[in-house]
Amino acid sequence: MSRAFLVVMDSVGIGGAPDAADFGDAGANTLAHIAAECAAGRAEVGRSGPLRLPHLDGLGLGAACRLASGAEVPGLTAAPSGRWGAATEVSRGKDTPSGHWELAGVPVPWDWTYFPDTQPAFPEALVAEVCRLAGTAGILGNCHASGIPIIERHGAEHLRSGWPICYTSADSVFQIAAHEESFGLDRLIALCAALAPSLHAMKVGRVIARPFTGQVGAFQRTANRRDFAIAPPAPTLLDWAASAGRMTHAIGKIGDIFSHRGIGRLHKGKDDLALFDHLDRLVAEAEPGSLTFANFVEFDSLYGHRRDVAGYARALEVFDSRVGTFLTRLRPGDLALFTADHGNDPTFRGTEHTRERVPVLAAGVGAGEIGLCAFTDMAASVAAHLGIPAQGPGRSFL
């Protein structure tokens, strides 16, 4: 029986979303702009020269970017040897749940709740509920912020008072940062879990636990992050596969994003390299007929949000080297599908995701242009490859 590997390169957008201006993102292009900075010699930290992604480009990454946006992609000029195209999202969001759910066949049918970019950002009733659940007299933060700066700003007071650091972003999220030792990791996770149902009822997409360690001047976030995401509104590709009796493997954040629905086995790791070790193991061990769904988050979390062009380029090149080995281990009949969930252009203003089309790169199913397609077409295509019924609106491009 055929196997499928759906691999999400978190935030590796390729520009060209037709509604980008509605999100304030006209002109954003994560991949093309990184490639341009590399070619101009402005991304030389830890790497050097033009962007080098021979394996992903060989599947059609550069061609997909040119199709999506018309942009030139310096260094990515290979003639594609895989199936390639570009996908457009219809959900009214540029966040992790929207992108992943739609990739799995379920567009988001509602408008997310976003907190205003004011201080305070959160309604008094929500703050009171956090305090009640945490057993504290107040919270810190209560604003839009990025994770590292707000921990640096409020970390000392957090250690003194024990109050949780609460913040949000342009995404539909409520994030709580707390020290693993002084506040307690289990206490932080329990707080987020208890708070999540009321925020989900408000159509806030995720409650995120952001634990950190260290002392003032040397705080570090840890790998013990937990996302409590609102459940998808309909069965997803994972549910379709599980209902058909197929084993499903979730690598990285996939379990959290899908509220652990339709997941047979979960594979976590401290970083993307550890997650790729799981992918390499599963390409050797995964059961016939199985689905492996993987998310590689560090492009987004470590480099996109921090607007670190050289770091993003370096991560792409390391990932590409692992892809090369992975592709040689595919079995006859396997499908490997590489894509993304949104953009996060490190050359763009601000620190948030960018509304972009995403690449569609398929290995194991021949060569040729897929063209422009929908996010949901990826779920339909994986289902068709596995020979299971698809329940979403997508159409297979296989």
**Residue 300 assigned ligand-binding role:** yes
**Residue 385 assigned ligand-binding role:** no
Residues in the chain with pLDDT < 70? Answer: none
**Residue 342 assigned ligand-binding role:** yes
DSSP H or E run through 362: strand 358-363
Residues 6 or more apart in contact with residue 88 via CB below 8 angstroms? 17, 18, 357, 372, 373, 374, 375
Q: What is the pLDDT of residue 171?
A: 85
Q: Is the peptide bond before 120 cis (omega within 30 degrees of 0)?
A: yes
Asked if residue 359 lies in contact with residue 338, where contact means CB atoms within 8 angstroms, the answer is yes
Centroid of chain to Cα 297: 5
Q: What angle do CA 223, 246, 384 make, to 5 degrees?
A: 105
**Residue 10 assigned ligand-binding role:** yes
**Residue 171 assigned ligand-binding role:** no
Write b or e for each residue in 58-87: b if 16 or more Cβ atoms lie within 10 A of its Cβ, otherwise e.
Answer: bbbbbbbbbbbbebebbbbebebebbbbbb
The share of the chain scoring above pLDDT 70, in percent, equals 100
Tell which residue, 328, 329, 243, has the closest CA to residue 286: 329
Question: What does the DSSP 8-state code read for residue 343?
Answer: B
Asked if residue 310 lies in contact with residue 47, where contact means CB atoms within 8 angstroms, the answer is yes
Q: Which two tokens stand for residue 390?
A: 């698809």
pTM of the model: 0.90
